[in-house]
Amino acid sequence: MTDRKEQLAANLAQVEERITSACTAVGRKREEVTLIVVTKTYPASDVRILHELGVRHVAENRDQDAAPKATACADLSLTWHFVGQLQTNKVRSVTSYADVVQSVDRTKLVTALSAAAVRADRELGCLIQVALDAESGERGERGGVAPDGIEELAAAVDAAEGLRLDGLMTVAPLAGPFAGRQRAAFDRLMEFATRLRAGRPAANMVSAGMSADLEDAVAAGATHVRVGTAVLGVRPGLG
């Protein structure tokens, strides 16, 4: 086993233990939570190692990094998630490899994703990204739609050819009343998710939590956690 594979295996084991412990603490089954490894800034070789170690869900937030990586790993059985803010001029490329776009935050993007999905003859899963700080008018820079816009976007995705509404996503806000209160933020997201599922039972995916706060997300009820640093290490240039 190479040094890098040993390192990733050890990191994965620690993350797995954290998720399992978090599930146990709130009476959830481990299989209720899917680990998505965010591989941004790391090479395709790491993605291959992660696949060897059993990872099946990976995420990227920049198309210029994701597209070549997805191509290089096209032979692997992976589900690719796009989690970054998405400009419409990148939609056609993202649609060529992403299975799920977790950052749907405006109707213009829904229209563009639908056109690209139809052109590529693909069905694309969509998560509506919710900006929890927008409730207080203190919107940060992490993207997302204000909570009162969830239903309008959900209806747009429902009506869009080639798209499938899978659920909601959020990033713990850095501003507003939820800043520094990750558990409260994720609990709030779950309120919106419960409302969404009431009329759309299949839209049951809730993506929340990262390396620093995955336990809070699991406790709140998240179905997917997005972990980068805890698996891959501190990213180059980020200190």
Q: What is the pLDDT of residues 74-85, one digit of tens each?
A: 999 999 999 999
Q: What's residue 96's pLDDT?
A: 97
Q: Extract the tokens encoding 230.
A: 């805890």
Kindly indicate the confidence band of residue 137, based on its pLDDT and cuts at 50, 70 and 90.
low
Average pLDDT over residues 167-188: 93
What number of other Cβ atoms are within 10 A of residue 34's Cβ? 16
pLDDT above 70 coverage of the chain, percent: 95
Average pLDDT over residues 132-153: 80
Q: What's residue 209's pLDDT?
A: 96
Q: What's residue 143's pLDDT?
A: 80
Q: Please spell the DSSP secondary structure of 8-61, one letter per residue.
A: HHHHHHHHHHHHHHHHHHTT--GGG-EEEEE-TTS-HHHHHHHHHTT--EEEES
In the block, which residue shows the tokens 């970054």? 84
Q: What's residue 168's pLDDT?
A: 98
Out of 23-32, 119-128, 139-148, pick the least confident. Answer: 139-148
pLDDT at 133 over 60: yes
Q: What is the per-residue pLDDT across 44-59, written as a single tens digit (0 to 9) for each?
A: 999 999 999 999 999 9
- Residue/partner pairs of 192-199 with CB below 8 Å, 24 or more apart: 192/130, 192/147, 192/150, 192/168, 193/167, 193/168, 193/221, 195/150, 196/150, 196/154, 196/167, 196/168, 197/167
